Amino acid sequence: MKLRCVLALFLTSLAIHAADKPNIILIYSDDHGWADLGVQGSDKDIRTPNLDAMARDGVRFTRGYVSAPQCVPSRAGVLTGRYQQRFGVEDNNKGPLPLAELTIAERLKTAGYVTGQVGKWHLDLVGKKGEKAVRVSKEHMPHAQGFDEYFRGELRQFYASHDLQGKPFADAPHLVTDNRFRVIVQTEAALSFLDRRAAKPEQPFFLYLAWYAPHVPLESPEPWFSKTPTELPKERRQALAMIAAMDEGLGQLRAKLKAMGQEKNTLIFFIGDNGAPLGKAWDGSLNTPLIGQKGMLTEGGIRTPFLATWPGHLPAGTVYDKPVISFDVAATAVAAAGLPKNPLLDGVNLAPFLKGEETSSPHERLFWRWGSQAAVQEYPWKLIRLGEREQLLFDISQPDGENVKKNQFASQPEIAARLTKALKEWSENLSPPGLPTSFDAHHEGLFAEHEVIPPLPDAPKTKDAPAGSVKGWLCRNGTIGIQDGALLVTADPKAAKNAKPFLAKTGLMLNGPVTAVIKADAKVATNSSLSWRTKEQPDFLPANTIRFTLPAGSSEQTITLPVNGQAIHVRFQLGDQADGLRLRSIELRPAKGPADIADFSR
């Protein structure tokens, strides 16, 4: 009898202790632009009823940031709660995550949590991107970073500790092949993890679910794809379908938690890992109305969908406008688990700010360093450095703030000096220390294309001209130069996989509709397209694209662009057969006003 009473008291104390420690779920989507969350109200075509319900039940952060505009460093930052530049994981080529760095899972295990990982990991890659040396290191997989259970993988192959029915593998990490749509498989793995938790409700859990969507390769999963608007480009429809699959998966997870009686005892974060890529590498997602894209430290590259819910603990229906960052997940989780505040964490516990117990901003400043770019935000001011060639200061209180015409670096010298000093001081504690000094033509091209910096200077009129601008047209993913009275386009062999060359021209003022006349000599028929955006459209919208074919031989093509308003930016996608394409002239004729004529024969 005495033993039974002691056991009952022990189990009761465990239950009370567990009730003080919420379950925690961190969900990371992939290349998911700020616009693609229905509750943002940015795009009428997006449908995310379960994510919208999560926002209504909790908090929507309108200025939620990630620590990098690229997946590996962003994931290293969110899982450690630290600036990933402190331990050298600055870009996709700088992995793997050092085992000495503690993840959220490792920290929570000290508080009695069981931990699980599902989906994209990418913190175990060894070698440089584009080289055969790239491999997955089993020594750096989730089980080496504090995860008890895992189903690690992106597309069709997964390294797992358990099968989807919950049976453990004796030879874990065990390689599993599943040819179904990736989001379905990853959702099932997450649900399987929750099923195993039902047997021990007294033990809190941490789940890191990293859906590999809507990242390329794009798919057309059913039943979601057939529900998308048929008039949209295929890429946009695929992205909408993949996001809808994640949204439905979130609904299933929350329903499972409710059935387990754990809904009110679970803190959930949903965050995008970086902004959507645009251009030829477009994954169909949008960053509208933010400026820029994946690979840029402008808002479109680092500001993403960002939600949190914890029924009864975080105020429902809250729209939080002060800047927060992905590091805050770790600090909030540690505090919720009852662990002491750790000075090594760069984030803050968001709960007191969301409850109104703290009225100041969670962060005085936020910092970034990635490749040739560095930035510091002291809201509403944001300073961006592009190598040593460009120093930019913007008021980002409005979505169109990061525009070359609104650069206040010269007109606000005191603010510029203060933020420059803060950025330099922060950078001295990184590995390696200091601010970027190298020049990156690709990054500069991105900034010019999005009108964050002035158009690039004209490239030399030589056969081997480097990527740049000729008569106002700049080239991405390739090189251009004048040869024998024509603009010669050559694809860049070092460009990312599937990144085809395209031309872009900014600073236009073309009243629609616009007629494009293209004179060209092509070795073979070339699939092409023209896209445009207006002043009111920071991103290229899917509907603003006209596709056509440049036939083999010499031709003159006339294409009507149904521009509604005034086109300020045009892209000319050159397709798979750009090598050897010779453009004799490109004319853009507006309904009113002078035409923009680039005659390359002169």
The residues annotated as belonging to the active site are: 71, 122
Which of 210, 202, 222 lies closest to 71 in space, CA to CA?
210
CA distance 269 to 307: 6
- What amino acid occupies position 73? P
d(CA 177, CA 154): 11
Contact between 486 and 600 under an 8 Å Cβ cutoff? The reply is yes
- Of 339, 388, 30, the closest CA to residue 206 belongs to 339
Would you mind telling me the total number of residues written for the chain in this entry?
Answer: 602
E strand intervals along 19-88: 23-30, 59-61, 64-65
Largest Cα–Cα separation, the chain: 101
Closest CA to 36 of 231, 310, 232: 232
Cα 387 to Cα 330: distance, rounded to the nearest angstrom: 31
Query: Which residues, 6+ apart, have CB-to-CB distance to 570 below 8 Å?
Result: 504, 505, 508, 510, 530, 531, 532, 588
Type and span of the H or E element at 521: strand 514-522
Distance CA(328)–CA(351), nearest Å, equals: 10
